[in-house]
Structure formats: structure tokens, C-alpha cells
């Protein structure tokens, strides 16, 4: 059976709208619904994987962002807000939690500035290293169904889509 591929969830949704409310523009469903679904399934799997090692996605996002920035592993709240794609309030809360667990620390604001630097502690540095290498190794396996050319093409099209989306949102 070459090309065995029945309709999936997104196909069924588009068909159902077509049937129930003809004329409704269903063109976006093929892409957008599948992106939502994939993100949801990935987030669910990631949560379960991280729970097993005593970590959560929000904290890991914070620690990873600091870790990736390179020495001295220190960024202002403002920079964290921009890089993590969440509101400033969310960063305050993430840092509160991580600080309570000794993974990061807030530094005093230098005079003549209002920025609050947040720095990775040694404990945080160790935690993020372990979690990231484990997580990335695991997530690599989720792409096994696509051959390298398909992975590259998918990444390319997503980047193209994101570029437009980002322009529309941020300016």
C-alpha cells in the first residue's frame, strides 16, 4: 500500500467545517492546527521527561538561556524577558522560584542603572548541563520518522513561516 496515510486529526477538522459550515476558509487548518497539536504533544512529553529528573520546562528555559549566553552566565531581567518570549512578570516569578532552589541569584543593581542582573549559580550550572544533554538526546529520537532531508526542509519552512509571524507581531 504505497503512500498509506489516512486523514489525520487536522484533515478531519477541516472536512468537518467544510461539511458543517460551507464557505468557511479552512486553508489555514492544515498548518496551524498541526503546529498547535505538535507543540501540545511535545510539551506534554517534555513535562513528563523533566518531572522524572526533578525539573520543569519553565525553570529549564530560564537556566538554559543563562547557560547559553556564555560566561559570566548573567543576564538582566529585561534580556531574559526578550529571550524567553514570556512577560516580565513571568520572569520575576521564574527567578523567584529558581532563587529559592539555589539555581540562580540576583545581584545588586550597579549604581546608575536599574537593571537587575541574574546569575547562574554553580548548582544551577550543573543542573542545566545534565538536563539539557539528556533532553536533547531524547528529543532527537522524536524526529526519527523523518529522514535528514525532510527534517531540513521542515526546519526551513518553519523558519520562513516564523519570520513572517515575527514581523507581524514585533514590528
Q: Give me the residues that bind its own copies (CB under 8 A), please.
A: 5, 8-11, 13, 16-17, 19-21, 24-32, 34-45, 67-70, 85, 129, 132-133, 136-137, 139-140, 142-146, 150-155, 157-166, 168-169
Burial 151-160 (b: 16+ CB within 10 A, else e): eeeeeeeeee
Rounded to a whole number of angstroms, the minimum distance from the CB of residue 20 to its own copies is 6
Q: Considering the complex, what minimum distance in angstroms separates the CB of residue 145 from its own copies?
A: 3
**Out of its own copies, DNA, none, which partner does residue 106 contact, by CB within 5 to 8 A per kind?**
DNA
Instruction: State whether the Cα torsion 132-73-62-157 is positive or negative.
Output: negative
Out of 71, 111, 148, 164, point to the residue binding DNA (CB under 7 A): 111
User: Where do runs of H (alpha helix) occur along the chain?
Assistant: 9-20, 29-51, 57-68, 77-84, 88-100, 122-141, 148-170
Whether 55 contacts 126, CB under 8 Å: no
Chain positions contacting DNA, by CB under 7 A: 44, 47-48, 51, 56, 58-59, 61, 76-78, 81, 85-97, 106, 111-116
Amino acid at each position: 500500500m504505497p503512500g498509506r496515510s489516512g486523514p489525520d486529526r487536522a484533515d478531519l477538522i477541516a472536512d468537518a467545517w467544510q461539511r458543517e459550515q460551507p464557505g468557511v476558509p479552512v486553508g489555514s487548518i492544515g498548518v496551524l492546527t498541526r503546529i498547535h497539536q505538535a507543540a501540545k504533544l511535545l510539551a506534554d512529553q517534555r513535562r513528563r521527561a523533566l518531572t522524572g529528573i526533578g525539573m520543569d520546562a519553565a525553570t529549564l528555559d530560564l537556566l538554559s538561556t543563562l547557560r547559553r549566553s556564555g560566561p559570566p552566565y548573567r543576564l538582566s531581567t529585561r534580556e531574559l524577558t526578550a529571550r524567553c518570549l514570556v512577560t516580565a512578570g513571568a520572569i520575576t516569578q521564574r527567578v523567584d522560584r529558581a532563587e529559592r532552589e539555589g539555581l540562580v541569584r540576583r545581584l545588586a543593581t550597579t549604581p546608575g542603572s536599574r537593571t537587575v542582573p541574574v546569575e547562574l549559580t554553580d548548582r544551577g550550572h550543573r543542573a542545566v548541563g545534565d538536563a539539557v544533554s539528556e533532553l536533547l538526546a531524547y528529543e532527537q529520537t522524536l524526529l526519527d520518522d523523518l529522514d535528514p532531508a525532510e527534517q531540513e526542509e521542515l526546519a526551513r519552512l518553519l523558519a520562513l513561516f516564523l519570520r513572517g509571524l515575527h514581523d507581524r507581531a514585533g514590528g
